[in-house]
Amino acid sequence: MSLKFDLISVDGNARRGRVHTAHGDFETPAFMAVGTAATVKALTMEQVAATGTQVILGNTYHLMMRPGGDLVEKMGGLHKFSGWHGPILTDSGGFQVMSLSNLVKMKEEGVEFTSHIDGGIKHFMRPEDSVHIQHQLDSNITMVLDECLHLPTTRERAEKNVDMVTRWARRSKEAFIDRDGYGIFGIVQGADFKDLREKSAKALTEIGFDGYAIGGLAVGEPQSVMFDMIATTTPHLPDDKPRYLMGVGTPLDILGAVERGVDMFDCVMPTRAGRTAQAFTRHGTLNMRNARFTDDKNPIDDKCGCPACKLSRAYIHHLVKCNEILGATLLTQHNLWFYQDLMRDIRDSIEQGRFKEFKDEFIKKYIKENKDEQQ
């Protein structure tokens, strides 16, 4: 295994680290900007980098559908194809097994699915195929193919899921071509059953991966359940490997997960919110469509250094109301900037041994002042 992780400092269960890849390092805890189809929507890669983002995420299923692994490989891989020169993680397509479930048939050998684009062409993807496509994409971090379950689910269904995705994880590991600066992560499943989460984590650890993801959460369950499953899982994962909570989430979700030992995150929330006129701030969220911003001379967040915050709330509101593309671009970049500022503050607080104090202060301001803003 040749993807290296340095654990720099620990504060309680919160961890500060660094992941070394063939396309550079990234600091943890890290938030990965989601670039599903080899683009972070509304932004150039230079604009993404300006936010402080160090690693982005692409999606194997969507890139397989278009433009296709063969073409991306021919173009020199995702880095050259997209213009992003830093580390890239690719999701295997396991989430789409759930989100496109009406188009999917699960089999022991792999996943049969009908194209969501034209609804007519059928495809079959085995764990080995997913790994091969991610190799074509030149992804620095390959994810094993798994199955993400809807919650709630039955214990019987969850048990079968854990056993099958463990077999798929082994097949994925065997298909992975090890090379310097690249790695493969296993994905812990188990729904909301503590013993199955523990079983899955131990089985994956026995197989041995460069890192371990916690999957099947942030799919509609209460935050308390998500935190409980994280706290159940992380003690059974190696200390010297990065831990990735898939598809999370809100600033408060991230803080709670860091507190329970998670190192990596991704979520469409900040970019999707930017395209729908929502701005994240240290004082909560703002709906920039709101008429009260019509003549507001203040920046979105006076502690933020992004391009949007060099302008007034009134101007951003004007762009949004006129459906100008620039409004979506500025708000998307602002939200990613906010998230990366948060991650940097989290890392600093862990190094200083004051993570809990920082978390409590952040939450108090974020919740209280958000309520004040909405009144």
Q: What DSSP string describes 127-144?
A: HHHHHHHHHHHT-SEEEP
Contacts of 138 by beta carbon, 8 Å cutoff, 6+ apart: 72, 73, 76, 77, 78, 79, 88
Q: CA 7 to CA 41: how far, in whole Å?
A: 32
pTM: 0.95
249 and 214 Cβ atoms separated by less than 8 Å: no
* pLDDT at residue 91, as a whole number: 94
Phi, psi (5° rounding) for residue 119? 70, 5
* pLDDT at residue 93, as a whole number: 75
50 and 83 Cβ atoms separated by less than 8 Å: no
* pLDDT at residue 103, as a whole number: 65
Give the burial class of 102: count Cβ atoms within 10 A of its Cβ; 0-12 exposed, 13-18 middle, 19 or more buried.
Answer: exposed
With H, G, I as helix, E, B as strand and everything else as coil, classify residue 352: coil
State the CB neighbour count (10 A cutoff) for residue 241.
23
* pLDDT at residue 368, as a whole number: 75
Domain architecture of the chain: domains with CATH = 4-267 (3.20.20.105), 276-374 (no CATH)
Q: How is residue 375 written in tokens? A: 């009144």
Give the burial class of 119: count Cβ atoms within 10 A of its Cβ; 0-12 exposed, 13-18 middle, 19 or more buried.
Answer: exposed
Closest by CA position to 184, among listed 214, 167, 208: 208
Amino acid at 307: P
Residues with active-site annotation: 91, 266
* pLDDT at residue 43, as a whole number: 98
Phi, psi (5° rounding) for residue 160? -65, -40
Helices assigned H by DSSP within the chain: 45-50, 60-65, 69-74, 78-82, 94-99, 127-137, 155-175, 194-207, 223-233, 251-259, 269-275, 313-321, 325-351, 355-374
Q: CA 262 to CA 16: how far, in whole Å?
A: 10
Phi, psi (5° rounding) for residue 40? -85, 110
* pLDDT at residue 99, as a whole number: 54
Phi, psi (5° rounding) for residue 263? -110, -25
* pLDDT at residue 1, as a whole number: 52
How confident is the chain (375 residues) per 10-residue block, as mean pLDDT? 91 98 98 96 98 97 92 98 98 67 79 75 89 98 92 94 97 97 98 98 98 93 96 98 96 98 97 98 96 98 97 98 98 98 98 98 86 53
* pLDDT at residue 234, as a whole number: 98
CA 64, 70, 75, 76 dihedral sign is positive
